[in-house]
Amino acid sequence: MNIKELKNIKNEALNQNIPIIMDDTLEVIRQILLPKHPNRILEIGTAVGYSAICFTEFLEPHGLIDTIEREEERVNQAKENIRRAEVEDRINLLFGDAVEILPTLENEYDVVFIDAAKSKYPFFLNQALRLLADDGIIIADNVLYKGYVMSDYNKHKQRTAVRNLREFIKEIQENPLLETQILEVGDGLAISKIKAQEC
Ligand code: SAH
Ligand code: MG
Burial (CB count within 10 angstroms: exposed 0-12, middle 13-18, buried 19+), residue 170: exposed
pLDDT at 125 over 70: yes
Q: How far is the CA of 148 from the centre of ligand 1 (A)?
A: 20
Helix (H) / strand (E) element for 8: namely helix 3-15
Q: Cβ distance 107 to 40 under 8 Å? A: yes
What confidence category does residue 199 fall into, taking pLDDT thresholds of 50, 70 and 90?
Answer: low
Ligand at shortest distance from the CA of 68: 1
Domains of the chain: 3-194 (3.40.50.150)
Task: Among 17, 29, 46, 127, say which to mutate for ligand 1: greatest number of ligand atoms within 8 Å of CB.
Answer: 46
Which residue owns the Cα nearest ligand 1 atom 19? 117
The mean pLDDT value for 14-39 works out to 97
Supply the pTM of this predicted model.
0.96
The 189-194 sheet, strands edge to edge: 91-95, 64-69, 40-44, 109-114, 132-141, 189-194, 178-183
Q: What whole-number distance in Å separates Cα of residue 3 and Cα of residue 11? A: 13
Task: Among 42, 71, 114, say which to mutate for ligand 1: greatest number of ligand atoms within 8 Å of CB.
Answer: 71
Nearest in space to 31 (alpha carbons), one of 187, 194, 183: 183
Q: What percent of the chain has pLDDT over 90?
A: 88
pLDDT at 37 over 90: yes
